[in-house]
Structure 1
Amino acid sequence: MATSKDAVVLDVAGHEVRVSNPEKPYFAGLGVRKIDVVEYFVAVGDGILFALKDRPTTLERWPGGYSPDAKMATRADTHGDAFYQKRVPKNAPPWVPTAHITFPSGRTADEIAPDSVAVVAWCANLGTLTFHPWPVDKTDVEAPNQIRIDLDPQPGTDFADAVWVAPHVRELLHEFGMEGWPKTSGGRGVHIYVPIQPRWTFTEVRHAVIALGRELERRLPDRVTMSWWKEERGEKIFIDYNQMARDRTIASAYSIRPKPHAPVSAPVDWEELPDVHPTDFDIRTMPERFAKVGDRHAGLADHAYGIEPLLELAERQAADDGLGDLPYPPDYPKMPGEPMRVQPSRAKRSTSENQ
């Protein structure tokens, strides 16, 4: 490691990665510096590289570090302290690979597609805390090779409720000949990954997740909801099916979340899931855990399931119960077969006013 007053140069996976302003506070309340963030990602390198390898990846950048009053830039207000970067930075070295992707709008971009821990460390030097990989390989960006089931606690519920629902998801997956691998989101939720054969479109995989979520909702109506509209969800766990829509991503395993205690998204075994809490895993504790137990998601590499049973379930739900598609996110163009994208209370009010 070469050092100077203003930078540290690390040798990572055969590449020199320059870390500028290494002493800059990144989580000031913890005493965590920029160099600590970069070294964290190197310490869990094999794990986060497995989560990101060859996947187009959006970078969630916090170049000034995290602070409680920092805010994320949005389309409406681009002056935030942090931002999402979907295009490869112009100053990227030649050894940073990319993947060409198409957004729902039809616009295209070249996104970083990490192939080494050095690329991850280089992104961390840019202030990247959270990595958001697409569920595809860069060799075929139109065919997802993972289902990602997002158990999202609604107001009145919490992480424990998501943990309670998770084994029921697993049981249902088993009925369709599939297995899932859980992880903490780094927040209040639980994510379950299912490796699939890259043979289906985003639309088909999204339909498969909708079918699975609807069956789970039918079995657990008091605990699970598939309602897109927040006013209809109640105190339940929302199965966020739109996380499988094109260009929708979730925080990767081992990503750092921008919260005061610097939590990380942690792969866990099914057996340990009931006993964990999101605060168990953070930038300080995860390297030791990773060194001890390795990557709990490594088994994903050994499987690739077909989704035909879930698509057949979707067909039965349509034929028997008249259940069609569900709304897409608001920034999407109108999709074929999509129902009216209007909040139910507004639709009722509009109907009442026109009577």
Structure 2
Amino acid sequence: MVGEKLSGDWALVRTRLTGSGSKEQWLLIKEKDAIARPAAEYDITLEQPQSVISGAHVGAGRAAPAKPKASAANEKAKAGAAKPARKPAQKKSKTVFPETLSPQLATLVDAPPAGDWLYEIKFDGYRILTRIQGDEVSLFTCNGHDWTERLPELVKALKGLKLQNSWFDGEVVVLDEQGLPDFQGLQNAFDAGNSKNILYYLFDMPFLSAEDLREVPLEQRRDALKQVLDAQRSRLLRYSDAFQAGHQDIVKSAAAMGLEGVIGKRAGSVYIGKRNADWIKLKCRLRQELVIVGYTAPQGSRSAFGALLLAVNEGDEGLVYAGRVGTGFSEVTLEQLYQQLKPLQRKDSPLAKKLTSAQARGVQWVEPQLVCEAEFAQWTREGIVRQAAFVGLRSDKPASEVVREDAHPARVASQTRTQSTSAAPRSGKKTAAGKGKVDVAGTGISHPDRVIDSKTGTSKVELAQFYASIAEWILPYLNKRPVALLRCPEGIDGEQFFQKHAEHLAIPHIKQLDRALDPGHAALMEIDSLQALVGAAQMGAVELHTWGATRDRIETPDHFVLDLDPDPALPWRSMIEATQMVLAVLEELGLEAFLKTSGGKGMHIIVPLARQADWDTVKAFAKAIAEFVSRQLPERFTATMGPKNRVGKIFIDYLRNSRGGSTVTAYSVRARPGLPVSVPIALDELAGLKSSAQWDITNLEQRLKKLKADPWAGYSNRRKITQKMWKQLGAKRP
């Protein structure tokens, strides 16, 4: 279903019960797909009570005032632009929407590091965090100062997004005639109380519609943000584009464009409310905030003052002298700054150490309250800024937080990984999930210590490492096939989601197929690499299910599956005998079959086919086999689904052979206690098989090491469905 309010997979169920009238009642039930949310978390009747057609509240009387109808684009951006990942905390809990949010900060480095990075423009403006809560929009500096009243035009534009309980991160700027950020122009706009030309470049979205996106990989947060902004375009709200360039040329190119510098963000990184090496800054020229501690008298035709004396904080030592700045001022700036300095005059120096008599000559000291930004050529050995030029005042940062910014070597940033994914304190008890981030095959695994299976204590990173270790075995069965994922973000004991299509929060490294393969839906997915395999595990995928056809010939299946599903009360011996009986029928038909454990209670029989018949024909053929076996041995088998039909019997499930249907792939883990694995076996191994869950992630490696031959050797041999086969089964070809 794709609607204004509801979307995804739904089941329409006929109850055959009558309500207050005479007609039978029907139920519309949400399937557990990738976009399903618990009712306790999101109730559509409460979140969007308006009628799509009239705009009136559903159930309200005719006299009730109708609310204006939101556009379809806005509703989609609100309800599903990001499809964010589930909160990976305690079961049945939800992140409390924060009143405040600490921004992620960048580390200054001396050169672009190696690795996979996204680069954005380092804007010459003020960092602003936006909180949208209910009908209120609030704008905060990175230090928590409320600037909402200073930016009324942006407040209006942000309200136009028609979102609730969301946080945005970005930078407000004013552009000059060349379209480049102009910090002094921004200062002038604030001083004049004129915000109509102040633009808001947005580069991150930690929350969307109460969904916590901080632990979602960077690229997916950015994609979700872009969709939100595209859904309701505004002249004042801009998306901060990322760009790529060679590592050696990145700063040189930025300088040629007249930019202050660039911000690098590690691909796949999460959002953390502090400074770390996942975000780096590269400056074309050194530039930072400095505390104003005094000024000198003007010389010649200069008015107001001559130069500013600057300082930085150095730990317990206090304020340390950092040099002077005497250029970069306009006449207007000189006078405005002088008026702010006069009330702050003091008799003595606020510096921790006295200056020499030459340095202090003619200086008027001031209280260390004002912060300016200056650019300069370098720091001298004595800690003095060289060739400094004034850029502007920084009213968004307190003087007590100004320290010298030293560039870290590039290798430090390239090697350092996130040490914590905790962006802010969460409500409730701490989870068992670890807060670190571990690299597996080039993919960062967040919450690596989160327990996936409580029975064995297996962690998320251990599951990712398992999939990486069997990549050469499982990838051939994933290659070129649409894949569906059974995701368990909170572990197999929590909620589980079956994802067939690539949603807005894409799986890291996963391949998105041509949307024409499944019209009317988002793109199908394919896992075609080790990185994509581990990326699926990073996003909580435990089971991997594949179609019975490859993407290049999607309408002609290359195999069918018979899933033998027993009554749980039956002994394992009955399962082995039943499998042998079905294999005998397939052999009589002239078909070559292959076996694998289901990882549950039953067995999977896979029959390769020549790619000629369509889906309907293949499904009908599998059904004919199931019905034939059931007719021949009705005391053992049934081809009719449902627990009551399976009592004391084995259900031959042929239904997964429909177009869009899928079967757990060979070597996939199952989301069951103990994390068993669906494992291919040779036909002569069947008699000695102890259970369908004989192998799990702890002992599969031992089996693979002992194998002397591929248990599915000859799998590429394919048979046609012939008229003779139909006749043997007593069925007609559709």
Structure 1 length as normaliser, TM-score? 0.77
Q: Is 1:53 matched with 2:463?
A: no
Greater relative CO, 1 or 2 (CA 8 Å, sep 6+) = 1
Kindly provide the amino acid, as one letter, of the partner of residue 98 in structure 1: Q
Distance in 2 between the 1:144 and 1:201 partners? Answer: 7
Structure 2 unaligned regions, length at least 5: 1-414, 420-435
Q: Is the deviation greater in 281-290 or in 107-116?
A: 107-116
Equivalent residue, structure 2, for 1:17: 443
- Once the two structures are superposed, residues 109-149 of structure 1 have per-residue CA deviations (whole angstroms, 9 ceiling, x without a partner) of 31211112221111011111101111110112111111111
Q: What's 1:147 paired with?
A: 560
1:248 Cα shift?
2.0
Q: 3-state SS of the aligned residue for 2:513? A: strand
Paired residues for 1:82-97 under 5 Å: 82-92=496-506, 95-97=509-511
2:589 maps to 1:163: no
User: What is the rounded CA distance, in whole Å, between the counterparts of 1:126 and 1:243 in structure 2?
Assistant: 25
Residues 1:207 and 2:637 aligned together:
no
> Paired residue for 1:225, among 625, 628, 638?
638
State the Cα distance separating 1:222 from its structure 2 match. Answer: 1.5
Distance in structure 2 (CA, Å) of the matches to 1:151 and 1:259: 18
Shift in Å, 1:101: 6.6
**Farther-moved stretch of structure 1 (154-163 vs 207-216):** 154-163
SS in 2 for 1:188: coil
Deviation at 1:311, TM superposition (A): 5.5
Deviation at 1:162, TM superposition (A): 2.4
- After superposition, where does 1:1-355 map in structure 2 within 5 Å? 4-5=418-419, 6-11=436-441, 16-67=442-493, 70=494, 81-92=495-506, 95-100=509-514, 107-276=520-689, 277-293=691-707, 296=710, 298-299=712-713, 301-309=715-723, 312-313=726-727, 316-318=730-732
Report the 3-state secondary structure (helix = DSSP H, G, I; strand = E; otherwise coil) of the residue aligned with 1:207. helix
The CA distance in 2 between the partners of 1:245 and 1:163, in whole Å, is 26
User: 3-state SS of the aligned residue for 2:439?
Assistant: strand
Distance 2:464 2:592 in 1: 33
Q: How far off its partner does 1:232 sit?
A: 3.7
Given that 2:566 and 2:646 are in contact with CA atoms closer than 8 Å, whether structure 1 keeps it comes out as: no
Retained in 2: the 8 A contact 1:44–1:290? no
Deviation at 1:65, TM superposition (A): 1.5
Query: Does the aligned pair in 1 maintain the 2:517–2:551 contact within 8 Å?
Result: no
SS at match of 1:29: coil
The answer (yes or no) to whether the contact 1:152–1:237 under 8 Å persists in 2 is yes
Q: Deviations over 1:74-117 (max 9, x none)?
A: xxxxxxx220111114344785323347899x733312111122
Relative distance call for 1:43 and 1:247 in structure 2 (3 A) is: same
Structure 2 distance, partners of 1:47, 1:110, is 26
Structure 1 residue 40: deviation in Å?
A: 0.7
1:295 to partner: Cα distance? 7.9
Q: In the alignment, what sits opposite 2:185?
A: none
Distance 1:97 1:253 in 2: 20
| Residues 134 and 185 of structure 1, relative CA distance in 2, 3 Å threshold | same
Higher mean C-alpha deviation, range 223-232 or range 54-63:
223-232
Letter in 2 for 1:304: R
Describe the shift of the 1:162–1:88 C-alpha distance in structure 2 as closer, same or farther (beyond 3 A): same
CA distance in 2, matches of 1:27, 1:127: 12
- What code does the residue aligned with 1:128 have? A
Please tell me the root mean square deviation across aligned C-alpha atoms, in Å: 2.7
Structure 1 286/236 Cα, relative in aligned 2: closer, same or farther at 3 Å?
same
Deviation of residue 288 (structure 1)? Answer: 2.2
The verdict on how the C-alpha distance between 1:306 and 1:281 changes in structure 2, with shifts beyond 3 A counting, is same
With over 3 angstroms needed to count, the CA separation of the structure-2 counterparts of 1:93 and 1:236, relative to structure 1, is closer
SS in 2 for 1:278: coil
| CA spacing shift, 1:150–1:25, aligned 2, 3 Å | same
CA distance in 1 between counterparts of 2:723 and 2:470 reads 36
Contact 2:681 2:712 in 1 (8 A): no
Tell whether the 8 Å contact from 1:100 to 1:108 is kept in structure 2 after alignment. no
Distance verdict in 2 for CA 1:92–1:234, change over 3 Å:
closer
What is the alpha-carbon distance in structure 1 between the residues aligned to residue 646 and residue 597 of structure 2? Answer: 22
TM-score, with normalisation over the residues of structure 2? 0.39
1:170 positional shift: 1.6
Deviation for aligned residue 1:233: 4.0
CA gap of 1:26–1:3, structure 2 versus 1, over 3 A, is: farther
SS at 2:552 equivalent: coil
- TM-superposition CA deviations, 1:303-343 (whole Å, max 9, x none): 1111125752378435xxxxx99xxxxxxxxxxxxxxxxxx
SS of 2:628's partner is helix
Letter in 2 for 1:282: D
Counterpart CA distance in 1 for 2:725 and 2:617 is: 8
Tell me how far 1:159 sits from its aligned partner. 4.1
Deviation string 1:209-244 (CA, Å, 9 cap, x unpaired) is 112122222332221111245434442111112121
Q: Considering only CA atoms, is the larger Rg found in Structure 1 or Structure 2? A: 2
Name the one with the larger helix percent. Answer: 1
Q: Does the aligned pair in 2 maintain the 1:181–1:300 contact within 8 Å? A: no
CA distance in 1, matches of 2:507, 2:539: 13
Structure 1: any 5+ residue segments left out of the alignment? 71-80, 319-323, 326-355
